[in-house]
Structure 1
Amino acid sequence: MGNNLGVITMELYLVRHGQSKANAAHILQGAKVDTALTSEGCQQAELTKERLLDQHFDRVYVSPLHRASETAKIIVGQSTTLTFDSRLVEFDYGSWDGQKIEDLLDQYPEYFHDPVYFSQSWKVSGGERYQQAQTRLKHFMDDLNGDADEKVLVVSHGMTIKLWVAQLLGLKHPENLAEPANASVTKISLTNGQPILKIYGG
């Protein structure tokens, strides 16, 4: 629990879901497309379970998309209470959702070869802007902050975690961060709300 000096530390573990069928097929998968884990994705989640076996999580939050909930259930088991929150869903790629990445590269090479330019993809795809995704994540964090020391597990998505970390660290250019790998762990320690990045996509 929080100590008498009023110092409260939250350890936030952000896990990307394991490989999904869309990932394996090189399909851009955002908020609208939702495929199950592959057998490799399940194995990845099992390895993450082993990595986190010694951690006791006070709360577990999960994106309601199937690939994330499937990953979470593998990591923490069926008996653990999961809290689903729609603010944790993947970035919405608009009309690009569900399309082959190879086809998008052919049609819109400038967006995919320049990470800075990709932040403007909403102008073509009709999808989310980075700021929109970060606003919903900020609202989630505002609701998450408690008054005691806690370890919190969040199972979410690659672009979502990337934008979230950039927001927490005050990075103006999220494109400088790579998306974390499937079933990877990102750990952020927040002491009285001040974030320190301990692991990114490890």
Structure 2
Amino acid sequence: MIVSQLVLIRHGQAHCNVAGVVGGPRTCTGLTGLGRRQVVLTAQRLAAEHSHDPFHALYAGPRRRLQQTGRILAEVVGLPLAVEPGLEGPRHGDADGRPWHEVKSDFGGGPHTRPDLPWATSSDTWNGYLRRAGEFLTQLIGRHEGERVLLAAHGETVLAVHTLLLGIPAGTQSGFTVDHGSITRWQLHRNRFGDDRWMLDRHNDTAHLAGSSEA
């Protein structure tokens, strides 16, 4: 029996993604036209699902690209949107707005390369972000036991969920691809003995986005 579900939607393509810059809270300017189309297609797919197996709550993080993604989902699916600071994603500190290639050159790789060191002045460490996000996600899951919850999230939030529910050790160098507009779904199953087990139903599902890159 499926008890709870956590469905994560990575935001659509954003201007910061196209520019290759770190899209922190100071410099995120929201979704591109393609990004909006990606989210509309995602929302339409979820609306069909919602009609026979309703979602109970919809959350988005505070950055503009997440709020825009959340508002599109809310309008199509028909749920109120709650903006949740716990879904803000990594804190980039002085890297906010800088080109990613410069940040990575200065740090010697991406944030995961040296996961216990900040990748810029006043930034998170990668493991620190995963711990903080995991603590929030644990609270959110407890808050919505027995419900289906929809999240407009950063790719890093998807990684944090996987780290939490798969029990991935700190410092692991392997990872997951998370595309714009993709659907990732976790389900809490309960067997006849009352034992609970989180199971990954799908990861990075983009079947609904076929043709979305066309102008």
TM-score, L = length of structure 1: 0.82
Deviation at 1:132, TM superposition (A): 3.3
Deviation at 1:118, TM superposition (A): 4.2
| Aligned twin of 1:198 | 201
Judge conservation of contact 1:8–1:147 (CA < 8 Å) in 2.
no
2:113 to 114, 117, 141: 117
Residue identity matched to 1:159: E
Superposition misfits of 4+ residues, deviation over 6 angstroms? none
| Aligned twin of 1:85 | 84
Q: Which ranges of structure 2 fall in alignment gaps of 5 or more residues?
A: 191-195, 206-215
Q: Which ranges of structure 1 fall in alignment gaps of 5 or more residues?
A: 1-6
Range with greater deviation from structure 2 (84-93 or 146-155): 146-155
Residue identity matched to 2:7: Y
2:141 & 2:81 partners in 1: Cα distance?
Answer: 14
2:4 & 2:92 partners in 1: Cα distance?
Answer: 31
1:11 & 1:33 partners in 2: Cα distance?
Answer: 33
1:34 and 1:116, CA in 2 relative to 1: closer, same or farther beyond 3 A? closer
Deviation at 1:116, TM superposition (A): 4.6
SS at match of 1:139: helix
The answer to whether 1:38 aligns with 2:32 is: yes
Judge conservation of contact 2:95–2:120 (CA < 8 Å) in 1.
no
Residue identity matched to 1:194: R
Judge conservation of contact 2:59–2:151 (CA < 8 Å) in 1.
yes
2:121 & 2:2 partners in 1: Cα distance?
Answer: 42
TM-score, L = length of structure 2: 0.78
| Aligned twin of 1:4 | none
Judge conservation of contact 1:14–1:185 (CA < 8 Å) in 2.
yes
| Aligned twin of 2:209 | none
Query: Percent identity over the alignment?
Result: 23
The answer to whether 1:182 aligns with 2:180 is: yes
Deviation at 1:150, TM superposition (A): 1.9
Residue identity matched to 1:92: R
Residue identity matched to 1:188: W
| Aligned twin of 1:162 | 159
Question: Superposition pairs for residues 89-104 of structure 1, below 5 Å?
Answer: 89-104=88-103
How many equivalent residue pairs? 193
After superposition, give the CA deviation of every residue in 1:2-47 in whole Å (9 maximum; x if it has no partner): xxxxx76111101111111111111122355322110010011011
1:26 & 1:123 partners in 2: Cα distance?
Answer: 16
| Aligned twin of 2:48 | 54
1:14 and 1:147, CA in 2 relative to 1: closer, same or farther beyond 3 A? closer
